[in-house]
Structure 1
Amino acid sequence: MADETPPGQSLGFKLAVESLFRAYAEGFDDFDLRRVIDCFAYPVTIWQSGKGTVFADADDLAENVEALFDVFESEEIAHSDFKVLEAQSSGNAAFVTLAWRQERGDGEVQMEFRCRYALRRNDLSGHWLIALVINEEEVALQ
C-alpha cells in the first residue's frame, strides 16, 4: 500500500481509501459476497474487456461477483494486495488508481494489473464507495 499521503490530500482520506479497498480485497480473499458488494454505490458501472456493464443494485452485482469467485477458485488465487498509485478527492467525489497483485496460496503471482475507480461518498454514512470501475487493458500499438 502507499506509504505517503498524496500532496493536497488528508491522512483521513488516504486511510478511508485504503480501508475501502482493504475490505474489498479481503472480501475476495475470503469469498465473502456481502463484504464485496457492500463496497459499491449503486448503480455502479464496471468497464472490462471493452464493455461497460451497469449494475442497478447489490443483487444485480452479486451474480458477477460470484462468477469472479469461480475464476479466483479455478486460478487458485488466495490473496489480493494493492498499492494506491493516485488518489484525488473533491467534495463527495474521488478518483483513485490502484496497482493490484493477486497471488496463489504458495505466493506465486498469478496476476498484476491496474484499475481506476471513481468513488462517491455516501451522504448518510460519509463512507467512500465504488461508483465506477475501469479495468486497464493492454493496448497494442500498430
Structure 2
Amino acid sequence: MTMWSAAGGERPSGFRMAVEDLFARYAEGFGDFDLNAVLDCFAYPVTIWQLGKGTVFADAEELAENVEALFDVFESEEIVRSEFAILDASASGNAAFVALSWTQERADGDPAMEFTCRYALRRNDLSGQWLIALVVNEEEVSPR
C-alpha cells in the first residue's frame, strides 16, 4: 500500500513526482556506475545509518568513497538494475520522510538483494529540488 500526504500547500501529485524522480535518478546513477549522478541526489551533510552505525558525510567528496564501495558490491553481485516501490511518504514545508522497498536484480532478472530503507529529504531552498539528507537502512531483526 502506498500512502501519500503533503502539508504546506503542496499538491501530493507534485510531491509524488518529485520523490519518484529523485529515486529514479538515484537508481539510474547506481545502474550506470555514475558517481556524480548518485552524489547529486544528496543534501550535505548527510547521515547514513547502516549495520547499527551512523556515519556523517560532510560533503560529496567524503561520500564518494562509500558510493564507490557500493559500486564494488553491485559489480561483485552482478546487479544491473534497482527497482523501488514507495511504501510511505509525507512532506511538510522543506522536509519529507519516505520509506522505500528496493529490489536489486541481476541481468537474468534474478533478485540479488531486497531491502527496505527510510529517508529524510530536504528541499533545496534555491532550486526547490528534493535531496536525501538522512538514510536509515533497516536491519533484519530476529524474532525473540
TM-score by length of 1: 0.95
Does the 8 A contact of 1:5 with 1:11 survive in 2?
no
- Per the alignment, residue 51 of structure 2 pairs with 49
Deviation per residue, 1:63-93 (Å, 9 max, x gap): 1000100010000000000000100000000
Map 1:108-127 → 2, pairs under 5 A? 108-127=110-129
Deviation per residue, 1:90-113 (Å, 9 max, x gap): 000000000000000111001110
Distance in 1 between residues matched to 2:101 and 2:111, nearest whole Å: 13
Identify the match of residue 62 of structure 1 among 61, 64, 68: 64
The offset of 1:6, in angstroms, is: 2.2
Q: Percent identity?
A: 70
Task: Give the counterpart letter for 1:140 in structure 2.
Answer: S
- Per the alignment, residue 103 of structure 1 pairs with 105
Identify the match of residue 89 of structure 1 among 81, 88, 91: 91
Does the 8 A contact of 1:5 with 1:14 survive in 2?
no
The offset of 1:125, in angstroms, is: 0.2
- Per the alignment, residue 21 of structure 1 pairs with 23
RMSD over aligned Cα atoms: 1.4
Moved over 3 A (4+): none
Does the 8 A contact of 1:103 with 1:110 survive in 2?
yes
- Per the alignment, residue 128 of structure 1 pairs with 130
Q: Any unmatched runs of 5+ in structure 2?
A: none
1:36 aligns to 2:38 (yes or no): yes
- Per the alignment, residue 6 of structure 1 pairs with 4
Q: Any unmatched runs of 5+ in structure 1?
A: none
Aligned residue pairs, count: 140
Distance in 2 between residues matched to 1:6 and 1:64, nearest whole Å: 31
TM-score by length of 2: 0.94
C-alpha change, 1:102 and 1:39, in structure 2 (3 Å) is same
Does the 8 A contact of 2:78 with 2:106 survive in 1?
yes
